[in-house]
Structure 1
């Protein structure tokens, strides 16, 4: 694998597929098709002048995800090659946390995260989700209309995560604004990164002074003895990773459900589980589409391509997914209701190998509970915009709706028979 051979493609002078263009968000499959046409590994730009190798083949993706000797998560060699104002730096720069570490350091950071999240019992998380749905229901219910992105998915995640991380509900908008700018990777990315960093720094300072029953306090007190700086960057990672991708998974699932009236009726009647829709999204519109970022430790031949070091190697979970309207899942990977099992191997949205998502069960519970409670309370949600005309936020890393406007029969939570207030 390490010996260079004449038939290996070197993309250095090729024209890259531009994932930062305006056309990418509304039609990513066109860009993924162009990358697949280049072979298992394509050549792209994450931002103007910021090239990357993009892995679009399942076998090649698994090789990257499992091969710790060839590939690293540490971006510091790459950072030295890019300008300080690169718009993707906020999402890609090195920090001392589980995402950007390898080997023993990664195991140390990851084990602390697993330990503190294991203390979040399912019934506790479920209760926090129900509380958040109730608060949002009280706000938007009487109006008879809402944007399920701005009025439900994003504020719900802010409410639940601020609750888990020991912050008041009033801090939700700060979280939303900073992370939103940083994730989009545009002109406001640096501003968003600074806003979000201040948010986390203030949180850790408050918890260091007055610990509570929350995740940052548990990290500060963990037997692994993380420094305050390490805890800060662990929270920077987990709060951001918990908010943006989960809010997108929630809104993308709602759009898929509401875009198919027959599907929606089976969900509201209880004939089909919400999990089926969640898994369809993980296949077709995975919320963190291009954020499996690695770096070759040295120049190496890989699946017909010569990989240079200090250039990102991006596992594209979006390109690995099945295009719309196709379904290649083996029958054995289906649930009794006809949908895929949430952990079937035909998608890699949770990652794989040492860096696979450690909190997938928490994420799935949060999203399914939120949708179940919302659709019980508002069984007649009616989308205002056809699904093929919905707008998507720019940015190379995510698949994220701009808005999901709906109408419904106005309802007061006080008179709701579904038990949202319980």
Structure 2
């Protein structure tokens, strides 16, 4: 999941840019580098140029040449995150917003506009709102969630395992997080292709984004109404009944941000991990050989390709100084997750293995650190592990350079990840993943029973009963630990 439920920075809307050859290309006003347009197609390279020119904190320009500070240093980002007395998440403090430089139709306005959510609050109000979110999350049964992730993964793989080909972005990474989050929120019946499409569409800023947002808000409003009338043991019910007493608008906005921010971040995380497994032979060999576990692979990805590369933003509450730069009251700062993760003072050798080191910035830090990061990790850990067990021979179905990306200031995500493998049979979604699923056990000859109907493909099949005459063998210590780890 993302740093504390929030709206991701950036937009995929096409932005008007000067024609080729126009003097407006290159540096903007004051010679500052732009973080948008054709000169910022590779933002990673732009950040390194800024680091070389200005150090750990650099001036730059957002869309429509709005000034912004980019925090590039790891320690400088952590200082900003951990000093709420100097830096706030309240967008209303931003000078360009107060003086009208940022107009209502600014491309980033959907992500800048203040909302009654914990990531925009501070002080007692932040404690109240965040306390409700973290309180509701504390009730989540993490072992139960891991079991659901496994079942959802089996269900998704069953959809394409017989074809021998798939797109692991469109058919897997974009679906698994939504299936899991709908279960956690308490609306598993809302999970379908339509809600996945709506979530992707509203984040792209397309012409139908408003309608897609309305679709999701309608589902969340119905959910809140049902749970007020009939509470259950799910995130929404606990959020509604928390002593903080969130009002209807606060409930709906937090449900939306928890769902969408967690969804977007985990989609990117899944796609990034799978891409590295498929394109880096050394990485895959370490997984296959046991030198690296899937959780360690996920953590490495959070260092190398965090789901969100930057977050807008933090805002100076007073005149201050950061890395030698004079920051004025009302200035905006980008949380530089990706550039901070590759700060040469922290990672002088980018090829060095970061196993066991969780000091990356992928989940933010300080008062606004992601409260649900363990759920995001679990979706990636269990989902990737189960998929690779089901499809051990999966290979990339194109050349690596043919992979297409969609980039914005906030992130860079794969458009598709085509793969091929030997066709596999479907598997009971209630079983642990297996390369060769065990056939159902036959009843003893003396047992007589009526034939049982098969459940629909979208419903979990019942576990196969074990014959009464065959006492179950107690699994070994290793298998018991493995079952516990996978949530079985």
TM-score range (shorter-chain normalised) is 0.7 to 0.9
The 5 Å alignment of 1:43-122 reads 43-78=59-94, 79-80=97-98, 81=100, 82-122=102-142
Q: Which moved more, 1:74-83 or 1:138-147?
A: 74-83
Q: Deviations over 1:9-44 (max 9, x none)?
A: xx995244333325645x332121122122222223
Structure 1 residues 204, 34: CA separation in 2 closer, same or farther (over 3 Å shift)? farther
Give 1 or 2 for the bigger CA radius of gyration. Answer: 2
Alignment check: 8 A CA contact 2:88 2:317 kept: yes
Structure 1 position 417 matched with structure 2 position 434: yes
The aligned counterpart of 2:381 is 368
**Matches of 2:63 and 2:434 in 1, distance apart?**
50
CA RMSD in angstroms, aligned pairs only? 3.0
**Matches of 1:163 and 1:419 in 2, distance apart?**
28
Q: Deviations over 1:182-203 (max 9, x none)?
A: 4345776656555544443343
Structure 1 position 318 matched with structure 2 position 338: yes
**Matches of 1:22 and 1:215 in 2, distance apart?**
43
Alignment check: 8 A CA contact 1:253 1:278 kept: yes
**Matches of 1:23 and 1:257 in 2, distance apart?**
31
**Matches of 1:140 and 1:369 in 2, distance apart?**
19
Q: Which runs of 5+ in 1 are unaligned?
A: 1-10
Structure 1 residues 176, 234: CA separation in 2 closer, same or farther (over 3 Å shift)? same
Tell me how far 1:387 sits from its aligned partner. 3.2
The aligned counterpart of 1:35 is 50
Alignment check: 8 A CA contact 1:256 1:277 kept: no
Alignment check: 8 A CA contact 1:53 1:312 kept: yes
Tell me how far 1:93 sits from its aligned partner. 1.8
* 208, 219, 232: which one aligns with 2:252: 232
Q: Deviations over 1:156-181 (max 9, x none)?
A: 11111111112235544444344434
Structure 1 position 284 matched with structure 2 position 301: no
Tell me how far 1:130 sits from its aligned partner. 1.0
Q: Deviations over 1:69-98 (max 9, x none)?
A: 111110123344322222222222211111
* 390, 396, 400: which one aligns with 1:387: 400
TM-score of the aligned structures, taking structure 2 as reference length: 0.75
TM-score of the aligned structures, taking structure 1 as reference length: 0.86
How many aligned residue pairs are there? Answer: 403
Q: Which moved more, 1:94-103 or 1:256-265?
A: 256-265
Structure 1 position 353 matched with structure 2 position 369: no
